[in-house]
Structure 1
Amino acid sequence: MKLSHALLALQAVTSREVAKFVRQGGRLASALVRPLLWLVVFAAGFQNVFGVSIIPPYDTYIPYQTYIVPGLLGMVLLFNGMQSSLAMVYDREMGVMRLLLTAPLPRAYLLFAKLLAGTLLSVLQAYVFLAIAALFDVGVPWSGWLYALPVLVLSGMMLGALGLLLSVHVKQLENFAGTMNFVIFPMFFVSPALYPLWKLEESGASVIHFIASWNPFSHAVEATRFALYGQWAPQSLAIVVGCLAVFFLLAAWGYDPQRGIVKRAGKPGGA
């Protein structure tokens, strides 16, 4: 594979994803309405009532509205990653994926290009939300916007890779509602997006605390939270990178015509 061919393929896949996003005018609004509702409506009720500490040693308390911003950024990335999964299922049913994956380039690279294109859109939407959140004086320093960029890219890629993996197993668009119930909502609510994990442990919810500690989304949120304030969470970042690698490799294996969805479908090029 020549570098020029690889870059041309990446440009083509990215251009297609951006063009789809531009044509779907309500997609940006739908991606922002959920986190903005949490920020403006839900958090407003706790603004002066519930304060949480942001980083160890848990002795600096901040308004709840400020605390949940990293979690809401994660929400944007999570839902967009799952939206990419839905788009993959649709493209497979319409035959678009068959055409894409029969291009004379390694299948794993084509999937990686698809992942990068989806991540680009996810990060752009996350920054649009961050800009709107800044209007409500949520207390995120401007330098945090720069620090958070690599973390948001890695987190977006991890969640996008999870979406790729789910698209291997979701056979029809009608089954996507189950994905919402059994993947998206548990990942979001069993995480420190809305409340710190140490409060779970302190309140005796040890089982939920244990599950949340093993939730990849938890570490994406924690890494983002630290980065927004100019600090790094190396353990969370390592887990995000590790999950990204595992999810993508499993997705590439699933789209392999010799082992994955094509073989199960019983026809060549069924991806």
Structure 2
Amino acid sequence: MAGPMHALQAMRAIVWREVAKFSRQTGRLVSALVRPLLWLAVFAAGFRNVFGMAIAEPYDTYIAYDVYIAPGLIGMVLLFNGMQSSLAMVYDREMGLMRLLLTAPLPRPWILFSKLTATAVLSLLQALAFVLIAWAIGTELPLWGPQTPQVLLALVSAALMLGALGLLLSVHVKQLENFAGTMNFVIFPMYFMSTALYPLWKLEESGAAWVYQIARFNPFTHAVEWMRYAMYGKDPGWAPWIVLGTLALCFGLAAWGYDPQRGFGALTKRGGGGGGPPGGAGG
């Protein structure tokens, strides 16, 4: 049991380090919550009487627009933290911290999975803070009850999927200066071309065929729909499989990219990882 215990201790240390670092960054929590809360308090209020929500799955009655977009805003919190973790990974790589971490006597995929777990924990803490503030301003979500395990499973899976996407992006973003541009091509298309703000049938009904098709195949759509259906104890269909499949794909590609014989070594050779020899991160 020495091997598994050592691996779990390493994961706990990595997760605790990230949580402790986050606890000292009050501005990071505030910035993570301001964006979705503005959408909830301003955008949803302004369009409450414009966007009528017909009775459609998973709802059994008419709902207020702020209740509809709340799962999408939770997804926004998870998405932005996943991308923030990508920025932190790029920074750690430039400072040489990732090279030091990857030399630990543990399988590299396990180390990366520990980083991913830390990202998911931070995402869930921020999502919980958002839900509590949303409840305080009058948006109540059906999170507690027999459906709670389904909601937790959907939230954890979405947080892991978006964290794995951030992990994958950190492989390809070579320098911090390139991060903002890359994120503009990831965060905004992924968020706005999804069901976070409007249902798929409205996109199809409005004639926006190409947006509708992109939204159908957008994994963020399925993460939001899984959360939305889970809150009402309904069957989310294929959404869990698409989310978990995207998680496995992104994490697998990220682990491949951080292999010094393939991706990570090539990145450091081009100046992205602290100036050692390409194979120096091996472990």
Query: Aligned partners of 1:262, 1:177: CA distance in 2, in Å?
Result: 24
Alpha-carbon shift at residue 51 of structure 1 (Å): 2.0
Alpha-carbon shift at residue 24 of structure 1 (Å): 1.0
Q: What residue number does 1:75 align with?
A: 76
Query: Aligned partners of 1:264, 1:38: CA distance in 2, in Å?
Result: 38
Distance 1:215 1:54, change over 3 A: farther
1:13 and 1:117 in contact (8 A); partners too: yes
User: Which region of structure 1 is more displaced relative to structure 2, 255-264 or 169-178?
Assistant: 255-264
Q: What residue number does 2:112 align with?
A: 111
1:52 pairs with 2:62: no
Once superposed, what is the RMSD of the aligned Cα atoms?
1.7
Alpha-carbon shift at residue 150 of structure 1 (Å): 1.0
1:54 and 1:67 in contact (8 A); partners too: no
User: Which region of structure 1 is more displaced relative to structure 2, 17-26 or 154-163?
Assistant: 17-26
2:103 and 2:281 in contact (8 A); partners too: no
Unaligned segments of structure 1, at least 5 residues: none
Query: Aligned partners of 1:189, 1:218: CA distance in 2, in Å?
Result: 10
Alpha-carbon shift at residue 53 of structure 1 (Å): 3.7
Aligned residues: 271
Residues 41-94 of structure 1: CA distance to partner in whole angstroms, max 9, x if unpaired?
111112233221464387732111110000000000000000000000000001
Query: Aligned partners of 2:130, 2:243: CA distance in 1, in Å?
Result: 22
Q: What residue number does 2:89 align with?
A: 88
1:68 and 1:193 in contact (8 A); partners too: yes
Name the SS of the counterpart of 2:53 in structure 1: strand
Calculate percent identity across the aligned residue pairs. 65
1:136 pairs with 2:131: no
Residues 21-45 of structure 1: CA distance to partner in whole angstroms, max 9, x if unpaired?
0111211111100000000011111
Query: Aligned partners of 1:46, 1:263: CA distance in 2, in Å?
Result: 49
Alpha-carbon shift at residue 20 of structure 1 (Å): 1.0
1:220 and 1:236 in contact (8 A); partners too: yes
Name the SS of the counterpart of 1:41 in structure 2: helix
Query: Aligned partners of 2:59, 2:123: CA distance in 1, in Å?
Result: 31
Q: TM-score, normalised by structure 1?
A: 0.95
2:82 and 2:166 in contact (8 A); partners too: yes
Name the SS of the counterpart of 2:223 in structure 1: helix
Runs (4+) of structure 1 moved beyond 6 Å? none
Q: TM-score, normalised by structure 2?
A: 0.91
Q: What residue number does 1:30 align with?
A: 31
1:257 and 1:263 in contact (8 A); partners too: yes
1:186 pairs with 2:189: yes
2:112 and 2:255 in contact (8 A); partners too: yes
1:202 pairs with 2:213: no
The aligned runs of 1:190-269 (5 Å cut-off) are 190-266=193-269, 267-269=278-280
1:92 and 1:98 in contact (8 A); partners too: yes
The amino acid of 1:159's aligned partner reads L
